[in-house]
Amino acid sequence: MATIMPASELVRRAAAWLAEQRALYPEKSLAALLDEAGMRFNLNPLDAAALGRLFDPATQEKNDSPSRTAAGARTGGIAVLSGTPVPQGARFPDGSSPSPAAAPVAAPAASL
């Protein structure tokens, strides 16, 4: 009987395998290795694309640029506020817009 494994574990194993293969066979193209990893670890296209961005040197250089900041990075028209992507121009039902400087909402008091 086959063991069921979470998809995240398969992606982790595929990433480790890719790193090992890139060290052992630097002449192999990233596309060929990603195809093989997809078959070996049953990766869906989204996971394979994410691994491709992770191992692509051009993407690494772009992400290491000093213009990116952890708090206010904007990518592709989406602002990342508190870890939640918010489309530019988004509005709440009352017409207000999300603000990066908004104070955190206090947790509700526990009822007795």
C-beta neighbour count of 33 within 10 angstroms? 19
- Alpha carbon distance 3, 7 (integer Å): 12
pLDDT at 8: 86
pLDDT at 14: 94
Question: Is residue 44's pLDDT more than 50?
Answer: yes
Which residue type is seen at 60? Q
The structure tokens listed for 100 are 């990066």
The structure tokens listed for 22 are 């890139």
Tens digits of residue pLDDT in 3-30: 777 878 999 999 999 999 999 999 999 9
pLDDT at 30: 93
pLDDT at 97: 63
Its pTM stands at 0.51
List the one residue out of 65, 85, 64 whose CA is nearest residue 76: 85
Rounded to 10 degrees, what is the CA torsion of 102, 87, 56, 19?
A: 60
Tens digits of residue pLDDT in 55-110: 988 776 665 555 444 444 444 444 444 555 556 666 666 666 665 554 445 555 56
